[in-house]
Structure 1
Amino acid sequence: MKQNLRRLLFLFFLFAGLLPSSLWAQSVIQGKVLDARSRQPLEGVTVTAAATNLQIISDQNGEFSIPADGPSATINFQLIGYSARTLEVRLPLQETLQIALQPTATNLSEVIVTGYENNRRLLETAGAISVVDSEVIQRFDESSLVRAVNTVPGVRMEERAPASYRISIRGSSLRSPYGVRNVKMYMGDVPLTEASGVTMLNMLDAGNIGRMEILKGPVGSIYGAGTGGAILLEPKRAAPGEHQLEVGATTGSYGFRRYAVTASTGGEKANALVQFTKQQYDGYREHTAMERDVFLLSTNFYPTENQTISAFLIYSDLFYQLPGALTQEQYNENPRQARGGTLGSVAQNATMNMDGVNVGLSHEYKFSNNWRNITSVYGLIRAQDHPFNTDYERNANQEYGLRSRLTHTAAIGATEAVFTVGGEYQRGFQVARTYDNNGGNVGLMRSDDELIAETGLLFAQAEFKLPADWIATAALSYNDTRYYITRLQQAAAGEEFKFNRDFAAVLSPRVALLKRLSATISAHASVSAGYSPPTEEEILTSDGVLNQELEAEKGLNYEAGVRGTMLNGRLNFDVVGFSFRLNETIVSRQELSSIAVFRNVGSTRQNGIETALAFTILEEPLAPVNLLKLWGSYTYNHFRFREYQQGETILSGNQLTGVAPHMATAGLDLATRIGFYLNLTSNYVDEIPLNDENTVFSDSFLIMGARAGVRRTLGKQLAIDAFFGAENLTNQKYSLGNDLNAFGARFYQPAADRNYYGGLSLRYAL
């Protein structure tokens, strides 16, 4: 009897001991995998339970369900083009998991783009789009975005002085003597370009940017007025599961110093990144010192599975000196000198002082798998104190805006359709005063103006995924821009003066077609219209004169291209040809006072080819040399004035001012298992016509740069990046940011000769 009792007790305790294990074995982990950037579901993710090596694949909604053993489980998530993730899960789960994977795409078939509002792979996007990610930005010293942007075909970024930027997409800088104009820019879903048409890109630090998408040509059907293109910036954000502190310092030639501190934390429900950067530069040329402090707060919240709230705040305090342009004789004699004379840059203390705050808030709500809305609001304030060679400007800006879009996905028979409708509104108020500049001090007032700028658009887009791997897109937008200017100085004298300019609202259509030729190659073609009204600075010039007759530009662009991968993904290529016709083309010229004035000159024809290639020779994570890659881009521009007469001089047929016929960039990337890396970059720019008459050209130049370093992980928490680099290794004498149609033949803004930098970055995982 006792023996039977012992057997029963033994069986009872054995059963009791095995019961939890059996219960744990029956646990099922359910979840959904999303793209960390777009928050779209990821299909085809390999989900592995480490203990059993059981693998399943996420479905088209990103959902998965996998059994697991024990009181906890280790689950691995892998998808080509995304950083692998490992997650420790305690069982049993009380809710469905939501996993976000960070994109790290290096292959065109893997790159996801947000341009044209489609969140598709680049291979399935009909349009000329180039992506500049953080890896490209970090090839250089992060002092500016110039060298990173100049790796893109069809795009040219210039720096007339440190922090004085100009961007040209397919010749769009023709009307930009300074600053970024005729290119619409966004930070996330928030317009960065102000209602007045200008973008203060120099208020950002290169380290603030996590990614850039550059859309070339007219994109007014979705992003509003503009004939030059659009640039979509994504602020740097914390990665899911990331809790770290990073500090870095860089120093280099001509007094270059840059310091950065970044703290980030990322979870399943929220992430936040705080960054402070400080940059100082004594300058290669006389009177080219600069200093910039930037504070960035970037956050994402996921309160429910259907909601995402994104927000950013950027505070910037910027100061830089303006050396002024040189004549050919001055350039040859001493390229490091500043513009001299009684109106010289030093004598007049030509400088820019700006500080401002940009705030943006976006809310995405998924009503269902088929309905989604994203609504964004933003605001900014900015103050500017600007003694110039010939005047003294003091401006203050405040602005707010709203952008919202609703997307519906539907199935129409065998056709998948995506419909998007939305709108955008911006209103800016500016107080602008100009004075005499008395040796860098405020003199007598010249003008006292208040400017209200309003711009808005309504847009709609339909995209159809057709049988036989065709994708068709049709889009249309309605654009409207108005300026209200009150001249207070004259009003105070009893001469009430108001000037209102309401540009006729314009419809901008876009039609595009894409064909998947194979699993890795696609061809696309599109026709799009562009519309670009004058900016506030083109109507109200810095000498206080109102340009009341200036009309908006209108253009039509035809485009076709092919992109994809070959040789098992080792060769990536992207080739686009385009033909653009622009009417009422706006050009700038300098008058005796060196003030830029603007006028419509007829029309231009702009034909070109843009090519990007990348070949991965070696990519073996466990090999001593685990990456060896060659890449390059080439741009051919055949840009001509079609109808242009100045006085009695016929300029029709001349080359478009400021545009190089040929540009090319090439690079090599090498990385080893022990952490050593090498990045080599070369950039060639052909002769550039500097005036409309085509009598003066800048010299062609070839510059090279290199960055080498060691990235190592020390222990489980500390990572180090020690690097050294050099720019302009060929020691070329060249001008980066020429003054076009300059009075007194002052065309040249010399760039630095051979220069060096080095730095150290430490990242500590918390």
Structure 2
Amino acid sequence: MRIIFLVFLSLLSLAGNAQDIHLTILDKSSGRPVPDVLVKSSDDQKTTDLNGVVILDASRKISYVLSHVSYIASIYKTNDSLEDTVYLEPSSLALNEIVVQGFGSQKPLVDQPAAISHVSKKALARFDETSLVDAFNTVPGIRMEERAPNSYRISIRGSSLRAPFGVRNVKVYWNGIPYTAPDGTTALNLLDFSNISQADIIKGPAGSIYGAGNGGVIRLKSDLSDVQGGKASAEFMGGAFGTIRYRMGLQQSIKNGGMSASYVRQKSDGFRDQSASDRKVFQWGSSWNTSSNNTLNFSILYTDLYYELPGALTAEQMAEDRTQARPGSEDKNASITQKALFTGLNYDYSLGQHWDAETSGYVTTSDFDNPFNTDYKKESQFGYGGRTRFTYKNNLSDNVTIEWISGAEYQFSKTTADNFGNVGGKADTLRFSDDLFVQQYFLFTQAELGLPGDFYLTAGISQNNLKYDINRKVDVSTGLAYDRSRDFDPVWVPRITLLKKLTADQSVRAAVSYGFSPPTIDEVRTNEGSLNLDLEAEKGTNYELGYRASFWNKRVNTDITFFYFKLDQTITTYTNPVGVVLFRNAGETDQKGVEFNINYDLIKQSTGVVNQLSLQHSYTGHFFKFKNYRQGEDDYSGNDLTGVAPNTLANTLDLNTSFGFYMNLTHQFVDEVPLNDENTVYQEKYNLVSSRIGWRRLLSTHWELEVYGGIQNLFDEQYSRGNDLNPYGQRYYQPALGRNGFACLKLAFNY
């Protein structure tokens, strides 16, 4: 009996020591409790009650992921406190709560000394999730076009003028790794929508730390956030014109990090003849916290892409049948097949109390086949490169701080390019064959001083170097083999900005920056075989004023920028009589503009039926003119710059409810666009209205469900989503989809 009594006392003692953590989760903006938050560890899952409370085991020191459809996910680590409180940030944030990386370390958007727009995961997912086009077109100053399915080009402040296809004059980074090729082109269509969780877009010359590119910089990021336990997900979407998309994904926590893998296939029959597409993408990513301040990320991306090219139509052909392909496109099997592998590494590490650094590198290979109406091109490419930067932060005195950044970036590529005749969509006789070598590198340094009176002075400069080597192995027309090269003189690119914090929620800034953008290898080496080595780089100076502010308890956010960009040696396109796109310098252009964005939350609360009701208005005014531009006896000085709409407007409405129902409405207006330098042909102005309605819910602590559907181009506007500029034969128009719908089912299991 004595032994039994002692055992009983021991059990009572253990029961008395067993304690729980009462964790309360509140809305950071309102301080109200947030119910239905999923609290998930590697082996446990719970949800908060109506008071925002969840009970956790205090005996285990582990990490939990806190997630809710209306809030940004957060990590909570248990400690010795038995009563604890966590504040979640709503997914709709004020400017001083949105943290982005622009010209230095991460800091709130209101403190950024540049024209930067942040596109969140929520903003990207307002449409059908097949591309970035519609989401990017709600951002002031940005215009993304899709001339054919999976054929994208991005214009930042009119920078797409020289891009008959592909993304040029804009520098792109993916997970901190240089993604733009060394010659300045970016194959954005190799990325699936699911490979991008957010984007930070720097508008205007950013060469002080990012190198060449007058358009700007786009920093894309995948979701490599902390994972607790595991998650398996699947989704299926169907839409008009035979559109099918499915995705399978897996996330798994591992020691000091996590990994994720996904496979996506997206295919469509196309709105027009000869416009089918099929893309298969596999991504694998992992993240390790090698120490408390060091993080290593590794990514692999493999893409198998095929899409047909319907070609541009004349106005008469558009009126006859806007779904037809350009005559000859089907017979020639005009299309692109590309298989590409991209492997990248990014390491963010600390070097002591005041120093930290980031180093990234990549290796890429690609095979490219392009039968076209005029020829057949085959390319294989191999490239590598990397970037490193070192950052020093310290207080120089009680009133002066410094953040100094220095580093370098290097890229190299070799491309074997063969051009053939095209007979029935098959490669015929070889016309010419080249080995193309591109090498570019730049060094950069920048200092930001925090001065008395809440002034911040930023000054940076880079030295840029670029060289093309073209080894012409075969040229049937001349029978000669020869080497040509173009070594651009080193270019110094400075930038200086002064920012004044008016209050914690308001800032005003002034900036002057110099930019340059050399021609790409595709602009120097044309598909007809000529080498345009005399093509000059675009160069110009940009002047900018900006203001950012949050009002009404941070429920109203506004961002306005005025700029004047004086550009010299502007590169524009034209088409010769056989249909080959060529390039030429067009003298000087004056580019004046205003970009304005305001968003406000009419309702923003964690309790009640409606959690959020918000509106956003984005306006772009781009008033661009040729200043000094003559071609032979033709004088285009004073004409509107080709391919740029003077006015665009985007209006959005978002509704989120406590029971999971949500609605997104979008209106986009695009003004008339001049399609030739003479300003005699315009695309007419148009309005697009789109909607998405859905329901998402945690069915249990393990299962998540989302169902959504929508309509795009609700009023069946007839317009071009991308046009051909200065074409031969009056073939200006690339008709876009009419009214179309979509529906999707997403299911996830947390384990």
Q: Does 1:83 align with 2:73?
A: yes
Match of 1:399 among 365, 379, 383: 383
CA distance in 1, matches of 2:585, 2:121: 39
Partner of 1:666: 651
Cα gap change, 1:420 to 1:282, in 2 (>3 Å): same
CA distance in 1, matches of 2:699, 2:11: 45
Partner of 1:280: 267
How far off its partner does 1:23 sit?
A: 12
Match of 2:470 among 464, 470, 485: 485
Q: Does 1:686 align with 2:671?
A: yes
What is the 5 A alignment of 1:562-601?
562-601=547-586
Partner of 2:221: 234
CA distance in 1, matches of 2:478, 2:593: 53
> Residues 140 and 148 of structure 1 are in contact (CA less than 8 Å); yes or no, is this contact kept in structure 2?
yes
What is the 5 A alignment of 1:64-463?
71-72=59-60, 82-88=72-78, 104=91, 106-241=93-228, 243-266=230-253, 269-340=256-327, 344-414=328-398, 415-463=400-448
TM-score (norm 2): 0.90
Cα gap change, 1:679 to 1:435, in 2 (>3 Å): same
CA distance in 1, matches of 2:469, 2:141: 35
CA distance in 2, matches of 1:73, 1:509: 50
Letter in 2 for 1:421: S
Partner of 1:622: 607
How far off its partner does 1:103 sit?
A: 9.2
What is the 5 A alignment of 1:508-657?
508-657=493-642
CA distance in 2, matches of 1:325, 1:333: 14
Letter in 1 for 2:263: F
Kindly provide the CA deviation profile for residues 1-42 of structure 1, in whole angstroms up to 9, marking residues without a partner as x. xxxxx9xxx9999899879979999x9xxxxxxxxxxxxxxx
Q: Secondary structure at the match of 1:592?
A: coil
> Residues 83 and 103 of structure 1 are in contact (CA less than 8 Å); yes or no, is this contact kept in structure 2?
no
Letter in 2 for 1:478: Q
Percent of aligned pairs sharing the same letter: 40
Match of 2:461 among 472, 476, 482: 476
> Residues 459 and 494 of structure 2 are in contact (CA less than 8 Å); yes or no, is this contact kept in structure 1?
yes
> Residues 669 and 686 of structure 2 are in contact (CA less than 8 Å); yes or no, is this contact kept in structure 1?
yes
CA distance in 1, matches of 2:240, 2:478: 53
Structure 2 gaps, min length 5: 22-30, 33-55
CA distance in 2, matches of 1:75, 1:304: 16
Letter in 1 for 2:397: G
Match of 2:710 among 725, 747, 754: 725
Deviates more, 1:451-460 or 1:434-443: 434-443
CA distance in 2, matches of 1:131, 1:737: 24
TM-score (norm 1): 0.89
CA distance in 2, matches of 1:272, 1:320: 31
Q: Secondary structure at the match of 2:194?
A: helix
Q: Secondary structure at the match of 2:161?
A: helix
How far off its partner does 1:85 sit?
A: 4.1
Cα gap change, 1:571 to 1:454, in 2 (>3 Å): same
Q: Secondary structure at the match of 1:468?
A: coil
> Residues 250 and 760 of structure 1 are in contact (CA less than 8 Å); yes or no, is this contact kept in structure 2?
yes
Kindly provide the CA deviation profile for residues 626-654 of structure 1, in whole angstroms up to 9, marking residues without a partner as x. 11111120000110011100110110010
> Residues 306 and 336 of structure 2 are in contact (CA less than 8 Å); yes or no, is this contact kept in structure 1?
yes
CA distance in 2, matches of 1:102, 1:620: 12
What is the 5 A alignment of 1:754-765?
754-765=739-750
> Residues 208 and 493 of structure 2 are in contact (CA less than 8 Å); yes or no, is this contact kept in structure 1?
yes
> Residues 431 and 476 of structure 2 are in contact (CA less than 8 Å); yes or no, is this contact kept in structure 1?
no
Structure 1 gaps, min length 5: 1-5, 28-44, 47-67, 93-98
Letter in 2 for 1:522: S
CA distance in 1, matches of 2:66, 2:266: 38
> Residues 302 and 309 of structure 1 are in contact (CA less than 8 Å); yes or no, is this contact kept in structure 2?
yes
CA distance in 2, matches of 1:326, 1:688: 16
CA distance in 2, matches of 1:88, 1:109: 28
How far off its partner does 1:164 sit?
A: 0.5
What is the 5 A alignment of 1:45-56?
none
> Residues 238 and 273 of structure 1 are in contact (CA less than 8 Å); yes or no, is this contact kept in structure 2?
no
How far off its partner does 1:443 sit?
A: 1.2
Aligned length in residues: 714
> Residues 241 and 268 of structure 1 are in contact (CA less than 8 Å); yes or no, is this contact kept in structure 2?
no
Letter in 1 for 2:693: A
How far off its partner does 1:156 sit?
A: 0.3
Cα gap change, 1:598 to 1:652, in 2 (>3 Å): same
> Residues 71 and 88 of structure 2 are in contact (CA less than 8 Å); yes or no, is this contact kept in structure 1?
no
Q: Secondary structure at the match of 2:522?
A: helix
Kindly provide the CA deviation profile for residues 544-564 of structure 1, in whole angstroms up to 9, marking residues without a partner as x. 211021011111101111112
Cα gap change, 1:577 to 1:81, in 2 (>3 Å): farther
Q: Secondary structure at the match of 2:724?
A: coil
Q: Secondary structure at the match of 1:193?
A: coil
Cα gap change, 1:445 to 1:89, in 2 (>3 Å): same
Q: Secondary structure at the match of 2:590?
A: strand
Kindly report the root-mean-square deviation, in angstroms, between the aligned alpha carbons of the 2 structures. Answer: 3.0
Kindly provide the CA deviation profile for residues 636-689 of structure 1, in whole angstroms up to 9, marking residues without a partner as x. 011001110011011001001000000000010001111111000111000000
CA distance in 1, matches of 2:71, 2:8: 50
How far off its partner does 1:377 sit?
A: 1.0
Cα gap change, 1:316 to 1:11, in 2 (>3 Å): closer
Deviates more, 1:369-378 or 1:397-406: 369-378
CA distance in 1, matches of 2:14, 2:726: 85
CA distance in 1, matches of 2:239, 2:18: 62
CA distance in 2, matches of 1:403, 1:105: 33
How far off its partner does 1:531 sit?
A: 1.0
Letter in 2 for 1:115: G
CA distance in 1, matches of 2:663, 2:88: 27
> Residues 431 and 475 of structure 2 are in contact (CA less than 8 Å); yes or no, is this contact kept in structure 1?
no
Cα gap change, 1:581 to 1:611, in 2 (>3 Å): same
Cα gap change, 1:754 to 1:583, in 2 (>3 Å): same
Kindly provide the CA deviation profile for residues 350-400 of structure 1, in whole angstroms up to 9, marking residues without a partner as x. 000000001110112202231111111101000001101100000000000
Q: Secondary structure at the match of 2:410?
A: strand
Kindly provide the CA deviation profile for residues 567-608 of structure 1, in whole angstroms up to 9, marking residues without a partner as x. 111111100010001111111101111111111111111000
Letter in 1 for 2:178: P
Kindly provide the CA deviation profile for residues 402-457 of structure 1, in whole angstroms up to 9, marking residues without a partner as x. 11111111110121111110000000000000011112111111110000000000
> Residues 63 and 228 of structure 2 are in contact (CA less than 8 Å); yes or no, is this contact kept in structure 1?
no
Kindly provide the CA deviation profile for residues 28-62 of structure 1, in whole angstroms up to 9, marking residues without a partner as x. xxxxxxxxxxxxxxxxx99xxxxxxxxxxxxxxxx
Partner of 1:3: none
How far off its partner does 1:467 sit?
A: 2.0
CA distance in 1, matches of 2:61, 2:438: 58
